[in-house]
Structure 1
């Protein structure tokens, strides 16, 4: 009979620290590169399940495995890999349920809601956001993010009352949040993110107030003209700004903001549809910038021209 190694506390701690590092790299690292590391760590967790360990150690191992599957699912969504995202979300949800971890369960529903939002299934996205809120521990980061997804879906459904109520909820919860991890950690809500969230949600609703929020995000986070260093949040703010300016017939400014977003190199595949929405709006106005913007958009992704 083969001798089973014992899982050491140091190994568990290293796995948990590595997950935190991966989640912290999420806002800045290319999703494909990060996914390679996440897969490697998830495989490591799977191999360790055969080791000797206490019940408490086994639970910790399953928890970190659940977080890794969840992060992997999020990266698959970002890359437009829907089937892989669904498979990993199911694995993460099963692990969260097995260890009784409502935070992982809530994040699974929140991530599923974002995937539905990307697909344009706004009513289902709102329902799943509400399910996430029901599972989310009081005062947790996922409680805020689930409220934000509900607001985004409501904006797409043109339900103004529900949208403004969600925005108020997000700001209230974010103001009361006590961070437990670094603010760059993907599963730690950054109160500053509520600015970006508000810009997007108001832009989708067609509220001109989105402009001031988008400009504030750009002013706070944008490092001058070096677009290669822009975080994704700034690229998204430029899309929000372009959409809002188009609604107000400020066409030259809108085209300039759209160009900056598309050329930033920071728009992940799951947000290509948002860029396409602006491109199509520019084309519908028959603006002279339309062909250049379409060309820049098609360079984002080999299949972009087919969408």
Structure 2
């Protein structure tokens, strides 16, 4: 074997060993941590990306990572954003995550039946949101969201919303409001013209009452039917959730007889028609029940005495009083 052949063989062996080592490194776990490591990448070149990774606890060989990114043609594909490196991820995994922009999302869940006050408290307490609206009054928030109705209550759709770490809470408010309006007007456009609502807002107010009156899916449409019947004949709604809402912080878990006779704009025992605003955040099931109430002659309902929480519906006061008495005796 000639000298040059020996040199070529040695170089070839070294190259194979180097490539094998490089391949092993590219597919070996970056960190022994058993917890995900969050990190943020701001726009910039490859070297700047590597500096950001190392400064946020992702200790990676900059030279080898740079080589990996360049030889795979991803040098100009790395995307800015909020990420999370999972336990066991390799340099190849990390490169693919950055090249595809597989950002990590946080979430916040807004619950059906919450008041706007409860929603705002949950938003303010979320550690991953940027709290741009904390200093805003309700009126100022209405103006920034360009809400044309005079109050924020009920104007946000309860759901789970995803966002990138550090996103503004205004983004969630806007998204939840737009989702509510989209669903409300979709129902309004297909509504039965016989429904006793002059505006979408009136229907939303009713939906909030239906939302608070029951959590049983099979009861919602019937309860909506009862309230629809009452509105049509000019009968008071007489629903406890509106009274509770009108009591505000005075409500301590019990409604006394005096509460039912104390007049507020939301006391449907003392006032006819709908209260001035919704009383809660409304889910799609309550909206659907409100726009598609059960065809019923019932004017009354009360919780059943069997403890299921379901309602018993009656068409006259005498039967209703008997159902109430039965409920009270078995309570």
TM-score bracket for the superposition, by shorter chain length = under 0.3
Instruction: Please identify which structure carries the higher helix content.
Output: 1
Q: Which has the larger radius of gyration?
A: 2
Larger relative contact order (C-alpha < 8 A, sep ≥ 6)? 2
Instruction: Please identify which structure carries the higher strand content.
Output: 2
- Scaled by the length of structure 1, the TM-score of the pair is 0.25
